[in-house]
Each structure stands twice: as structure tokens, then as C-alpha cells.
Amino acid sequence: MGRNRGFLNHLTSIAIITIATGSNAHFKIKRIRVTINMEYFIVILCCCGISKNDKMIGKTTLFKLNQPFTTESGYTFPSLEVTYKTWGTLNEDGSNAVLICHALTGNADADEWFPGLFADKKILNPEEQFIICSNVLGGCYGSTGPVSINPETGKAYQADFPKISIRDMVRVQQLLLNNLGVESIELAIGGSMGGMQVLE
């Protein structure tokens, strides 16, 4: 054990693994990065077990906007794709929606980076609310962005991706909300760039 203990000094990061137990178990590994010494290969995992029902797990969906969208900078996309995640069910009058806006490097998996807010009697309660979080326009997690194919060239936009604004992101979110049948938003929250979207 004394020899193993020395190896712990080489551990540069510990992956957080989320394990949801119960009838709908899922297992996700975010990232593991370790420095290996010459004698031992040891990976230490910090695990967190939580129980989720169907509404707590959420559903990821791809929304395709099959109409032109013009940005504030004047660029027109012939169509757009938006990957989003929802929890709970929209009520009949479309008034129980909650919108979560993610940060610059975030994604739509808000239950993974806002876990303390998702629960019964918490601020985000899928039993009572219809919670929505979408990947922003220009992001890297499924919505139209630099890795998307430019229909004019047949290749990824990459550095040619047009300049977009916070208002562009919010306008796309509004189109998504319209498509989902949301009539009003009960609450909108976000951190960093997400907060800028909320203010917009």
C-alpha cells in the first residue's frame, strides 16, 4: 500500500461518474485523465449514486427548422438544427415552462451541471414543470455550429461559421419554444452566457 500511495501524487484529475439506479439506470463517464507512472496503472473514480424516475432523466430531441434564418450580422442559414433536452410535461395551456440557458462551454444536459436544482420540492421540479434546455446556435453539442455542413460548400463551416450574437441565440430558442407549444415561461435561469440570454 505504501508503494501505491506514491502513485496518488500522479493523479491529475478524477472523473465524476453519475450513476442513476433503479429501473432506468444509466451510466456516463465524462472524462478521465491520469498520469501513469512506470509501475502502476490505477484509476480512481469518484462515484455518485442517485435515483431518477423517467421525468428526472429527461429526453433529448433534435428540432429541425426548415426555413431561412437571418442573423444580426446579415448571414442567412437556409435551415437550422437545434438539439434540446426536456424534463416533465407541458400543461394544456402551455404555461408551466421553465427555460434553462447554458454557459459558453455548456450543453443541454442541465440535470448534469445543475443537479442540486432538479428534485421534488426544488426550484426545478419535472413533476410540475416542463423544463427545457437547448444547445445554443453556434455551439458544439448538436445544434447548428462550426462542425455543421455548409450547404453552399458541402464541407463543415469551421472558421467560416458566421458571427452570431446572444440575440440570435435567443431568437432560435423562441422558435423552438413556439414549436413546442409554449405560451409563457414560468422561470428562466442561466449562468454566465446563459444569464446573458435570460436578460435578452
Question: 3-class secondary structure for 14-78?
Answer: CCEEEEEECCCCEEEECCCCCCCCCCCCCCCCEEEEEECCHHHHCEEEEEEECCCEECCCCCEEC
Task: Give residue-wise pLDDT tens across range 3-20.
Answer: 444 433 333 333 332 323
Q: Provide the CB-side half-sphere exposure for 172 (13 A, CA).
A: 34
DSSP code for 124? B
Reference 68, options 200, 177, 178, 175; nearest CA is: 175
Whether the Cβ atoms of residue 89 and residue 62 lie closer than 8 Å to each other: no
Reference 77, options 64, 89, 86, 59; nearest CA is: 64
Give the model's pLDDT for residue 52.
Answer: 53
Give the model's pLDDT for residue 14.
Answer: 31
Give the model's pLDDT for residue 23.
Answer: 33
Share of the chain above pLDDT 90, in %: 66
For the chain, the distance separating the N- and C-terminal CA atoms, rounded to the nearest angstrom, is 56
Instruction: Tell me the one-letter amino acid at 179.
Output: N
Above 90 in pLDDT, residue 176? yes
Above 50 in pLDDT, residue 120? yes
Whether the Cβ atoms of residue 19 and residue 25 lie closer than 8 Å to each other: yes
Please state the length of the chain. 200
DSSP code for 118? B
Cell digits for 38? 512506470
The residue-averaged pLDDT of 161-176 equals 97
The residue extents of the domains of the chain are 2-51, 55-199
Above 60 in pLDDT, residue 72? yes
Give the model's pLDDT for residue 128.
Answer: 94
Cell digits for 112? 448534469
Distance of alpha carbon 95 from alpha carbon 91, whole angstroms: 7
What's the pTM? 0.73
Above 80 in pLDDT, residue 185? yes
Cell digits for 165? 450574437
Strand pairing class (80-87; 76-77): unpaired
Task: Give residue-wise pLDDT tens across range 24-71.
Answer: 333 333 343 434 343 333 333 333 334 455 557 899 999 999 999 999
Distance of alpha carbon 99 from alpha carbon 183, whole angstroms: 12
Above 60 in pLDDT, residue 119? yes
CATH architecture for residues 55-199: 3-Layer(aba) Sandwich (3.40)
What mean pLDDT value characterizes the chain? 79
